[in-house]
Amino acid sequence: KSLTGQEIRRAFKSFFAARGHQVLPSFSLVPHDDPTLLWINAGMAPLKPYFDGREIPEIPRIVDAQKCIRTNDIEEVGHTARHQTFFEMLGNFSFGDYFKKEAITWAWEFLTQVLEMEPERISVTIHVEDDEAFEIWHRQVGLPENRIYRGTEDNFWEIGEGPCGPCSEIFYDRGEAFGCGADDCKPGCDCDRFLEIWNLVFTQFNKGADGEYTPLPKRNIDTGSGLERLASLLQGVANNFETDLFRPIIDRTGEIAGRRYGESDEDDIHFKIVADHLRTVTFAIGDGVLPGNEGRSYIIRRLLRRAVRSGRRLGIEKPFMYQLVAVVDEIMGEDYPEIREKRSLIERVVRTEEERFHETLSGGEALLSELMAELGAKNETVISGTDAFRLYDTYGFPIDLTVEIAKESGFTVDRDGFDAELEAQRTRARQARQVAEGMQSQRGALETIDQPSKFVGYEELTVDAEIV
């Protein structure tokens, strides 16, 4: 059955609404009152207070489509069929109400009857000790034993502190053409053959700050299904980016670039990166995060710049991302009114940020061509690590761009030299921090270090390192 992204999103909500669930709009991407998370990265994240019993929901059954950001998947974007940094997670939740039986049988019913997916292509994983889940999948649903896989490492679900438990994941076999060809390729394999479409989490523990697991007073259900992945299957396309949720963004980018998606593998990667990062930036700004130099703001700045660089690889040399915001609005604005309402603000912020980055780029390029002219006069072809580092450090000029531009003019860059300079700078920064901390401890008890914010800082650093 072919359905649009919007139709799937709505079908999911009405299916569960008909089964007693309250339909909620997505929560903000910015976590509320949760120092352990930088972004909302799963449907259950904003519902934690209901899961651990701090708050009681009006109705113990909730269904929603939650905006999620996972920057830790950034390296996959454009390279796998199924990962984005921004995606929508469809979820149905039970708080001390129904448990495994309903969660499993409803998931099956939704996939095979509402979405009309081929039952024979569906397989599942369960936790190695979860005989209850096995019985339900095998006896009630009728799934053959050889399509129920016990115990991969992914069958226990947790994010930081909070509610967690064993889970059962649902996979769709796209066929050998998508596979890695390995003999042991099965659900859970990293390739794109067995597409993970839904994770059913049977939440029965709470993980404390001390890392201890304690049984929750009431057992819950937390499920998450990737909307773009369902759409890719129902629309019969090769990857999430070819669904109606992305394709218009890619096509518009293609018009601006004067190139077409599907003609070169390398271009396609950049088309996907642009489309993905644009959605992330659009929705983040829609939720009030402006590009900047710290925390979430910094991530948004880096994502935007990364997309601009992909745009350049497609031959786009001027600000263009801001023009794509309208396309995101057309695709999703009806179900996410915040995007429609804030569209002109988002466009302005994106445009200003693009313009600023282009200034950095042209400043850096001017310096670089002077440098290459000087080297050329001496018949040299290698840009030293020191010079590359100066461009990076003083002018904010990304190293891969230096390499790229150098290459176009027949120059190379001493990467090892650059890396050594970078490492030296990091060491200096570390030493400076130690000195500062030393001074702090001398000042004594007045300067207590705030643990929670320190933890966030650590997470930001990791994320940042991934984005550079």
Based on CB atoms, which residue is closest to Mg ion, 174 or 309?
174
Nearer to ligand ATP, 108 or 322 (CB): 108
Report the nearest approach of ligand ATP to the CB of residue 133 (Å). 15
Rounded to an integer, what is the distance from CA 382 to the centroid of its chain?
A: 37
66 binds, among Mg ion, ligand ATP, none (CB under 5 to 8 A by kind): none
Longest Cα separation, the chain:
79
Q: Name the minimum Å distance from CB 441 to ligand ATP.
A: 40
197 binds, among Mg ion, ligand ATP, none (CB under 5 to 8 A by kind): ligand ATP
Numbers of helices and strands, H then E, in the chain: 15, 11
110 binds, among Mg ion, ligand ATP, none (CB under 5 to 8 A by kind): none
Interacting residues with ligand ATP (CB under 6 A)? 42, 70, 73, 82-84, 87, 89, 154, 196-199, 224-226, 228-229
Beta carbon nearer to Mg ion, 196 or 268: 196
What gap in Å lies between CA 222 and CA 44, rounded to an integer?
A: 6
Residues 269 and 83: their CA atoms lie apart, in Å, by 12
Q: How far is the CB of 73 from Mg ion (least distance, A)?
A: 6
Give me 251's structure tokens: 């096509």
Q: How far is the CB of 84 from ligand ATP (least distance, A)?
A: 4
Examine residue 402 and tell whether it contacts Mg ion (CB under 5 A): no
**Dist CA 349 CA 200 (whole Å):** 38
Does 154 contact Mg ion by CB under 5 A?
yes
Smallest distance, ligand ATP to C-beta of residue 1, A? 19
C-beta of residue 115 within 8 angstroms of C-beta of residue 140? no
Identity of the residue, 229 or 270, whose beta carbon is nearer to ligand ATP in the bound complex: 229
What does the block give as tokens for 183? 């003999």
357 touches, from Mg ion, ligand ATP, none (C-beta below 5 to 8 Å by class): none
- Phi and psi angles of residue 463, each rounded to the nearest 5 degrees, phi first: -60, -45
Give the nearer residue to ligand ATP in terms of CB position, either 280 or 310.
Answer: 280
The beta-strand segments (E) located in 175-326 are: 194-207, 213-226
Q: How would you classify residue 177: left for phi > 0, otherwise alpha for psi between -120 and 50, otherwise beta? A: alpha
Q: What distance in Å separates the CA atoms of residue 275 and residue 272, rounded to the nearest whole number?
A: 5
206 contacts Mg ion (rule: CB under 5 A): no
Taking the complex as a whole, the smallest distance from the CB of residue 182 to ligand ATP amounts, in Å, to: 17
For the bound state, the minimum distance from the C-beta of residue 157 to ligand ATP, rounded and expressed in Å, comes to: 7
Closest residue to Mg ion: CB criterion = 199
Give 172 or 411: the residue with its C-beta nearer to ligand ATP: 172
HSE toward the beta carbon, residue 403, CA cutoff 13 A: 11
Helices marked H in 68-179: 100-109, 131-135
Measured from each CB, the residue nearest to ligand ATP is: 226
CA angle at residue 377 from 375 to 383, to 5 degrees?
A: 10
Interface residues with Mg ion (CB under 5 A)? 154, 196, 199
